[in-house]
Amino acid sequence: MALDLRHMKSGRGAGTNWFFVYTIPRELRGQPRFMTRNGKPMTKITESLGTADPHEARLRRDERVVYWNRQFRMLRDGPSEDDIREEAVEVYRATLKREATRPAWWGYKPPTTPEDYTRRLDNEIALYAYKEIADYCKRAGVLLEPGTEPYRKVGIEFIKAKIAAHAWGVQLPLPDGRWLRSSRGFGDLSGIDDQHLPPLRKSEPPVAVSERAPPLPPVPLSRRET
């Protein structure tokens, strides 16, 4: 049976790598991401698959098809809730890796007096999440403007991911005047301005869509309570 070599082409000569070739949707060819150095719209994406083995190349081809279909969808419709959550997972993992090598420091950052929630939120996003948001926008091909609700929505999720990963000194203001804070950088004083309110729920690591537990099957009618 012939191999499925769709969206693939071999290099010149024996033993050369296979290439992934994928057509860019016509409506996206004017996007800055798909322009040549000469300023002309690209019609195809061409990437080396990094292997001369056709079987391994097919597996990598399938991964690139999934990746680029997702990129095309986000360019057309913007990032979905699941897209933001997946990126929050990556922020969480990257923060865990970075914090594992950060030396301990017993400093203390004084709590902020509750003021205007939106102003405080924008300030914390600018401090702790703007680099990740800029990188995400660049890779996803979307434009999110600081000070807008979509930007804040992404920033909140990314800061929560960092707090769950115990990033040093990261904090997130809440609408009720309290702060959600990392366990590193604040010590026992992290909740000093929140003692008059009920305790906050612990910030949990984000879970990728592919890692969620499948829904339970419905109970047969004969077994339901009557």
Range of 135's domain?
Answer: 81-209
68 and 99 part of one domain: no
Distance (Å, rounded) from C-alpha 92 to C-alpha 106? 23
The residues near 204 (Cβ < 8 Å, ≥ 6 apart) are 164
The residues near 65 (Cβ < 8 Å, ≥ 6 apart) are 7, 22
175 and 192 part of one domain: yes
122 and 155 part of one domain: yes
222 lies in some domain: no
Q: What is the pLDDT of residues 188-223, one digit of tens each?
A: 444 444 434 455 555 667 766 665 555 545 545 444
Number of H helices, E strands in the chain: 5, 5
Number of domains making up the chain? 2
70 and 113 part of one domain: no
1 lies in some domain: no
62 and 87 part of one domain: no
Final residue belonging to a domain, choices 44, 76, 108: 76
CB 166 within 8 A of CB 182: yes
CB 69 within 8 A of CB 83: no
Final residue belonging to a domain, choices 76, 96, 127: 76
42 and 86 part of one domain: no
105 and 205 part of one domain: yes
Look at the pTM and tell me if it is higher than 0.85.
no
Q: What angle do CA 2, 5, 6 make, to 5 degrees?
A: 130
Give me the tens of pLDDT residue by residue for the chain, a chain 226 residues long.
577 889 999 877 777 899 999 999 999 998 888 998 888 999 999 999 999 999 999 999 999 999 999 999 988 888 889 889 989 999 999 988 887 776 654 444 444 444 578 889 999 999 999 999 999 998 888 889 999 999 999 999 999 999 999 898 899 988 877 788 888 876 544 444 443 445 555 566 776 666 555 554 554 544 444 4
52 and 153 part of one domain: no
86 and 156 part of one domain: yes
Q: What is the pLDDT of residues 157-182, one digit of tens each?
A: 999 999 999 898 899 988 877 788 88
Q: What angle do CA 195, 196, 201 make, to 5 degrees?
A: 65
Q: Find the Cα–Cα–Cα–Cα dihedral 157, 81, 90, 168, rounded to 10°.
A: 0
